[in-house]
Amino acid sequence: MSTTPEKNGKRPDAQAVMRRAIILTHIFVKAASTPPSVYLKQWMTAWSPEDKQKCLDDFNDRFATQEMKLKEAGLWDHLVEEERAFMETGPLETTEKQQIDASWSVESIMCLQWALGRLDKFPHYDEQVHPETVKFEPEVRAHVLIEQAKLRPAEEIDRQRDLAEAWHWRARTHALLKDGKIPPVLENGLTMADVIRLSAAEAARNGGFDFPLADDYTVFGKPYREISAEEFDSVMSISSERHKALNWLCGYAPGNQWNKTPTHT
């Protein structure tokens, strides 16, 4: 079924996890508060030069404030190159990929907040994270959050990581089956239906869902194989983001580098 990557070293400590959660929150906030550049450019065609400039100045002031907060908290140097580029990019230059990637980071934020014990419930894989559930208290300064950070027991995080990997594996398997890229019978004589049945039973035993439906993972109240293209896009994005965050938490990224975290299955 899945092929777990090798661990590359020590897990990030609680302070590193809190730093990463705060950084991703700033990135998500910028994405959530900035309209896609294609729409912004379209709207601006009907505006006066003065209104255009005022809009751009407002956005740039907001971005500068976020950058300043990150620097004041000593976090700016902890951003990876792509994150700094995104934070420094103006509203008209932000690409669609930057916007989408930053928007989905809310799933990673949830995983980190859960690992820090700030969330009791880990959402199901057909449940997108609501931004309100992962926001930080505005009155608490970043250095206080970092100093006071504590992590759940490693065993709990490991268990959730294994489930994330299983869900990501099922998403990739679904796509490969749809594209006809997996043979009906594998080298060991098992069919993919057999493999999925066994994986679904194991995931259910580990708390991934209550019970399999039609020998498959249960998602959106039905067997995984019956989900729509739109539902698949959602659960694939959720699975991959959570898998990355939990692999990072468990020490699979070389040198704990966020952007080097492997997510193969």
φ, ψ of residue 218 in degrees (nearest 5): -95, 120
Using one digit for the tens of pLDDT, what is the confidence trace for 93-142?
A: 999 999 999 999 999 999 999 999 999 999 999 999 999 999 888 778 99
Q: How far is CA 252 from CA 54, 72, 149, in A?
A: 45, 30, 21
Query: What is the average pLDDT value for the chain, to the nearest integer?
Result: 93
Backbone angles phi, psi at 142, to 5 degrees: -60, -40
* Residue 215 near residue 206 (C-beta atoms within 8 A): no
185 CB neighbour count, 10 Å cutoff: 11
Report whether 225 contacts 48 (CB < 8 A).
no
Residue recorded with tokens 């809190």: 18
| Domain range enclosing 26 | 1-265
pLDDT at 139: 77
The closest alpha carbon to 127, from 246, 229, 239, belongs to: 239
Domain count, the chain: 1
Q: In which residue are the tokens 């994986």 written?
A: 199
Give the list of residues 6+ apart from residue 119 with CB closer than 8 angstroms, or none.
Answer: 110, 113, 133, 134
Q: What's the token pair of residue 181? A: 């890229």
- Please tell me the distance from the alpha carbon of residue 248 to that of residue 36, in angstroms, as a whole number: 29
For residue range 235-247, what is the model confidence (pLDDT) as tens digits? 999 999 999 999 9
The rounded distance, in Å, linking the Cα atoms of 42 and 25 is: 28
H-helix segments, the chain: 14-33, 37-44, 49-72, 81-88, 96-115, 142-148, 154-178, 192-205, 229-249
- For residue 188, pLDDT over 50 is answered with yes
- SS3 of 141-174: the string is CHHHHHHHCCCCCHHHHHHHHHHHHHHHHHHHHH
> With bands split at pLDDT 50, 70 and 90, how would you rate the model's confidence at 156?
very high
Taken as a whole, the chain contains a residue count of 265
Mean pLDDT of 197-219: 96
